[in-house]
A and B are shown apart, each in its own frame.
Chain A
């Protein structure tokens, strides 16, 4: 399965200024649309690592497929290949050398997709849908870490069908992130666990949730020395918590901020509160982007504690986001995230992935 079916006439021009459509709000930011976007909601996005020349984007969707595009500097996106699972794909990630893509699906398996040969083999098995997948490259080992709704975190050597290690989680795994040597897993019932991966993965600390509602997404950030030092946790209640692992002054250093809420009028009208669907840190600047069910994305500077930008509202929620390896491209997916239940699900609605130039907008604000 190499190329996708229909080539939709977009994508060949640099910026999508398709004059006629002014009333429809699917791309108010006038960002580049990726061609041949998936047919159902996009659950995850991932850009290729720096070891691969150029930029390749992988997206997993609820149509059970994983698609790969090459993104050229001109903005042109070329569909390259596709693989299928037997269930919706919930997470994707790249190996460190850029030759393999790992995909996690509701069919309780995870697969390794060799891009050169375009073959995909199963490398992991769980008892419930696999929600997160990450490739760990440690000095003394490499493995795939999968988190699942079966409340386990499993580590797989891709050559064996038995996991190298199984760690129990207190609850279903909802989201995870990994930057060696640290990994964070957020589970249902507001669970939060940090793992240290040196030598072998082990639980480092369980943290009481800084948020009051369900955890939705998590992303690790690094300090000036490029070491992972903390994480940002988003919930369904339009709030993100910034949490440092070992801060000098926890009460002051850790904080939460509200986001993805409708303005409402100053105080009287109740706000609409939306879930934060994804958080991504800019690899160079250290600023972060959040995307929400309200159909907006926002850029923030956590050190200056300010918001850098909020986008216009898209007509669909933004379900996933990702930066490329050097932070020049910000990709975000516009598709229904089920935040309002099945009533608002429209299978006919087109799903989009947009690419935006992120080099300038995410520069940190200078601290006053």
Chain B
């Protein structure tokens, strides 16, 4: 058979029905077709049906993709994306499926689009000169991707002024430089998207982040806000299984989405529902992620570290001294209140903060660990790990097994005891 030229360009309209050869497209081709009506394989009378399953590149022009278009300023708003109808049609076409064999097609297409969107956004972010210390999410209404902290210009400026008055400008500069480097690393990671990043990302997106955004109500520190009191540590994990992290009603429907999610992603045994595997570092040790050592030490030490966190600027002192981080740089936040600026401790933006710290600077792992993030200093339990007694026998069995069994992957994070670092 002749090789399909359009497929090679990523825009074959017929997909599996195409009469030409689609080299290597098993995932893409097989995936796309769940509903071919009986018998209507190659007949021309099925033309109309071909399009139903396939992305139509032509509609790309209308709803301009996020972050991608370079529109000049016209009198009209030009590219307004109305509401939720954004961008299922990026026209990026059908590149080869990185996931190999995978059952459902739509979820895959979405994933692909999402990933492509992320790559594009990263490129734009870098080249546009926009503010770098910002949370980011690949598509509206999705949770933010981990690895990006939100720092407003005012916060940064306040830090500058504070350090200036305490004559410690150099540490400010160092910290800023460090933040920039982390940002750059993360952006590059997302741009190049190797397999582990992809996996982590997808779990981030699907499960809803509980690291960088536990703030959004996974009951971590502020149980008071979230009506349903049943948000103790453990439930947070199941909540993560959906994308709408905000509304409390969303929590009620928690588990429904997850099983299928796990059904899709082949059992790489790497990413259980929560502890969204942030590649920089994660408290999801034992799952094959490279930065494990520092991550683990970071997560384990957290309960003890709450005292440290109060020095507001925990991220910043890190570069200055490996040792007693509390002291230097703290003057700015003299108050010792646990909630001084900079998304400090209790704040969950820190997870990405210090995680990136520990990921990239091993020497600092000790300091970064002291930031009592991931667990929120107040809760006694660790929402990252489930105490053993709260796991069912089956879940326990899964954790203890060598590999996860597809369909039986527990939704709760593993117990601390079972982790081998």
Residues of chain A at the chain B interface (Cβ within 8 Å): 43, 62, 87-88, 90, 106, 108, 127-129, 131, 149-151, 167-172, 174, 187-191, 203, 205-214, 216, 235-238, 250-258, 261, 263-264, 266-275, 300, 305-307, 310, 337-342, 345
Instruction: Select one of A169, A188, A270, A340 contacting B343, CB under 8 A.
Output: A188
> Complex formed: what's the CA distance from A210 to B139 in Å?
9
Nearest-neighbor residue (CB-CB) of A127 within chain B: B337
User: Whole-angstrom distance between the alpha carbons of A150 and B81 in the complex?
Assistant: 34
Most chain-A Cβ atoms within 10 A of its Cβ — which of B66, B155, B349? B155
Our pick among A127, A258, A270 for the contact of B78 (Cβ within 8 Å) is A258
Query: In the complex the two chains form, is A127's CB within 8 Å of B335's CB?
Result: yes
Q: When the two chains form their complex, are residues B131 and A339 in contact, meaning their CB atoms are under 8 A apart? A: yes
B224 near A168 (CB under 8 angstroms)?
A: yes
Specify which chain B residues have a CB less than 8 angstroms from the CB of A338 in the assembled complex: 153-154, 156-157, 160
Q: Which of A62, A188, A189 has the most CB of B within 10 A?
A: A189
- In contact, A273 and B340 (Cβ under 8 angstroms): no
B81 touching A255, Cβ below 8 Å: yes
Would you call B76 and A305 a contact (CB within 8 A)? yes
Q: Please report whether the interface of chain A is mostly helix, strand, loop or mixed according to DSSP.
A: loop
B130 within 8 Å of A (CB atoms): yes
Interface of B is mostly: loop
A171 to B349, Cβ gap below 8 A?
A: yes
Given contacts A172-B343, A189-B213, A270-B127, contact A305 B85 (CB under 8 A): no
Residue of B nearest to A308 (CB): B75
Which residue numbers of B lie inside 8 Å of A, CB to CB?
A: 66-67, 69-85, 121, 123-124, 127-131, 133-141, 144, 150, 152-158, 160-161, 172-173, 176, 212-213, 215-217, 222, 224-225, 244-248, 335, 337-343, 346-349
**CB within 8 Å for A252 and B343 given contacts A206-B247, A270-B124, A310-B73:** no
B340-A128 in contact (CB<8A): yes
Report the Cα distance A329→B154, complex, angstroms.
Answer: 27
Collect the chain A residues with CB atoms within 8 Å of residue B342's CB: 149
State the Cβ distance, B353 to closest chain A Cβ, in Å. 12
Ranked 3 nearest A-B pairs via Cβ? A214-B134, A270-B127, A273-B128
Given the complex of chains A and B, what is the CA–CA distance between A209 and B245 in angstroms? 11
Distance (whole angstroms) from the CB of A206 to the closest CB of chain B: 4
Residues of B within 8 A of A187 (CB): 215
Contact B72 A263 (CB under 8 A): yes
B residues less than 8 Å from A172 (CB atoms): 150, 152, 155, 341, 343, 347
Q: Is the CB of B215 within 8 A of A307?
A: no
Contact present for B341 and A168 (CB under 8 Å): no
Residues of B within 8 A of A273 (CB): 124, 128-130
Nearest CB in chain B to that of A306: its residue: B76
Given A189-B150, A207-B246, are A252 and B82 neighbors across the interface (CB < 8 Å)? yes
